[in-house]
Amino acid sequence: MNEHLSSPTPKRADPKPKILIVDDEPGIVKLLAEILRDAGYSCLGCQSSLEALRFISTQQFDIVLTDVHMPGIDGMELLRLVREEHPHLPMVMVTGEGDIRVGVQAMKEGAYDYLLKPLNFGAVLMSMKQVLDRKHMEEELENYRHLLEEMVEQRTSQLGRALARIEQNFEETLQALATALELRDNGTAGHSRRVLTYAAQIAKVMGCTKEQLHSITLGALLHDIGKIGIPDAILMKKNSLTPEEQIVMRTHVIRGYNLLNCVAFLEEAAEVVLTHHERFDGTGYPQGLAGAEIPLGARVFAVADTLDVMTSDRPYHQATTFAAAREEINRQSGKQFDPDVVSAFLSIDAATWEDIRLGVMGANSAGSADMNLAFQPYNGENLRFFGANA
């Protein structure tokens, strides 16, 4: 089988984006091909993973659109085989309505997107466009990486200075990104900065390593980055969301994960973004993870996020006291929150949390962009309401 995959892939003269459709039902292959051709794509269809592997070994494709459930080699195994030999070939998985976990797992293993049956053809076309846009962006980034490698060989000293400047500006860029997102959501001004500081304090009490602290704080800073893709009408709505709007809002964790996971040094932070709405008792989303299945960073973040939501004014509630927030978080220990994280949180008294908040707000008002504040030792059933539109 690998002999098919390892064959050289020829250049393609066809300027149209080319899609390989893989489904064991010929009618679905034909229908998808007609729709995609009408939208300006070149299409080729097949009914098995073995056929798909042969086509991929001899032709060049821009996207592989494959069903998950097929006889023989299923879509997940096809994804793994293609990723081994063609890691830059985008794959989009089609799965049943009850298989959201399969879709999320596929994306964690390298799929670009997943679609749910019954297929919405508008969603199919939108997915193809977004995948191509992402592929083009990754190609540009890859070209830029090759350019940097050449610069390393030719101008090592100049590259060293450039990397030093990039490192110096890195945290400021991330903070600017988080701040830009908060400008869309008037109710969350300063939220990311406060949450990353709270999360860092809890993580240090728990004895987290420097590497864990780094991923937790980055995840906390960028936890809502996926809301970039949420419509303003939903994101800025002051009243409670409808069930349909809640479904759209909940996609922000997967959108955020997709944005960050393609950046190597943000992979662990991406896990925090993906799982920051999971609950310790398994009733959260998007995967319904429970207990230690939830990454530690997300379990720490959950407490820090709730602390800030409860003690901040939002369009749907007024701020409560830190003492009241401590009591509510303690009541949710073992339900929404990890008891070990709650214990670490409760070891820091309410007055200290109030001082930390004032310190962060003071830094924000002074225009500080020093994320190292989060790493320095600090001196001197009701929760569903508080997370209504988050």
Global confidence as pTM:
0.52
What do you get for the CA distance between the two ends of the chain, in Å? 47
Degrees, nearest 5: CA angle 188-193-197: 130
Q: What is the pLDDT of residue 382?
A: 33
Strand extents, DSSP E, the chain: 18-22, 42-46, 63-67, 91-95, 113-116
Sign of CA dihedral 33, 137, 110, 282: negative
Contact 223, 195 (CB under 8 A): yes
Residue 238's φ and ψ, nearest 5 degrees, are -85, -25
254's tokens? 């997967």
Q: What is the pLDDT of residue 363?
A: 58
Query: What is the 3-state secondary structure of 184-206?
Result: HCHHHCCHHHHHHHHHHHHHHHC
- 3-state class (DSSP) for residue 324: helix
pLDDT along the chain (390 residues), means of 10: 41 75 94 94 95 94 94 93 92 83 88 90 93 90 83 73 72 72 60 88 93 90 87 84 92 92 85 95 95 95 93 78 92 96 93 83 51 41 34
Correct CATH for 2-134 of 3.40.50.12280, 1.10.287.890, 3.30.70.2190, 3.40.50.2300: 3.40.50.2300
Please state, in angstroms and rounded to a whole number, the distance separating the CA atoms of residues 23 and 245: 31
Contact 199, 246 (CB under 8 A): no
Closest listed residue to residue 364, CA positions, set 189, 143, 202, 216: 189
Please state, in angstroms and rounded to a whole number, the distance separating the CA atoms of residues 93 and 76: 8
Say yes or no: do domains 2-134 and 170-386 share a fold.
Answer: no
**Where do the domains of the chain lie?**
2-134, 170-386
What's 317's DSSP letter? B
Q: What is the pLDDT of residue 276?
A: 94
Correct CATH for 170-386 of 3.30.9.10, 1.10.101.10, 1.10.3210.10, 1.20.120.720: 1.10.3210.10
208's tokens? 């987290």
Q: What is the pLDDT of residue 4?
A: 41
Provide the residue count of the chain: 390
- 3-state class (DSSP) for residue 366: coil
137's tokens? 């962006």
Contact 205, 347 (CB under 8 A): yes
